[in-house]
Amino acid sequence: MLAYGEWLEQNLLARVPHRQYVFALPKLLRPFFRYRRRYLGELCRLVAGLLQIGFRAMAPHGQPAFVLYVQTFGDLVTFNPHIHALVADGVFLPSGTFQVLPPLPEDTLCQALRRKLLDFLCAEGVLDRDLADRMRQWRHAGFSVHNRIRTQTADAEGRQRLARYMIRCPFALDKMSYDRNSGMVIYRSKMHATRSRNYQLMPALKWLRLLNHVPDKYEHSGSVLRLLLQPLHGRPTAGRTGRMTLGIIFHDAS
């Protein structure tokens, strides 16, 4: 993970402020993604579209830049598909100048995520339209967006730390122990917000179900959508740069 953070900083990220966005889904919809892995890629594309639209609304001629990561796990290794986005905190103008912008409103992104994802699942035929209509009206539907973590222009270590966090492993061996007498696995982590405990206790065979965080051969549990900014002469900074080429590529993060 250390090498990945350094590589990202040296080869991809511009020396500009960055912000982390986290897009989370309600528990009711998470099983759809457990057994339909391609939906994780669609979720990634959906979030990329929301970020593009949001920044273009504030700066129509600017180009946003971001890296998206799919994670399928929470602190207690339960199945929890969500998106982490490492986003340049503004846009690159045609001149090559970086323009810092206010963060995209969390509530606006959350409502758009709810609308777009429910429409997608209905179109796929896996979600009942009546239920989707009700979820659109719920005051607390379980969708959330968080964007409070920001790094400054000179904080290269902060950008690398965020990148390493986004590709971390689903679980750590030093947090796991096995009791042979009972056949139970105990996994300890930080206090869970809704479960009100800091551990997971389950039979060993049930623990093996957590391998759904590990992709099968030729499959991947995470994808990265990268909007590249590659100046012809040097890397983009907060000031003027050389002419830049833009493109979107896909990269597996698992």
Q: Break the chain into its structural domains and give their ranges.
A: 2-170+216-252, 172-213
**Given a cut of 50, is residue 83 above it in pLDDT?**
yes
> pLDDT digits over 11-29, tens only?
888 899 999 999 999 999 9
Mean pLDDT estimate for the chain: 82
pLDDT band at 214 (very low <50, low <70, confident <90, very high): low
Whole-structure pTM over 0.75, yes or no? yes
Tens digits of per-residue pLDDT, 165-175?
A: 888 777 778 88
What stretches of 36-152 adopt beta strand conformation (E)? 66-73, 79-88, 90-92, 98-100, 144-151
Of the listed ranges 118-132, 186-200, 234-248, the one predicted with least confidence = 234-248
What is the average per-residue pLDDT within 113-129?
97
Q: How far apart are CA 212 and CA 139, in angstroms?
A: 32
Give the number of other Cβ atoms within 10 Å of residue 166's Cβ: 25
Q: Structure tokens of 14?
A: 């511009």
CA 10, 11, 16, 17: dihedral to nearest 10 degrees?
Answer: -80
Residue 177 reports pLDDT greater than 80: yes
- 3-state SS track over 164-175: HHHCCCCCCHHH
More confident residue, 151 or 165: 151
Rounded Cα gap, residues 128 and 183, in angstroms: 40
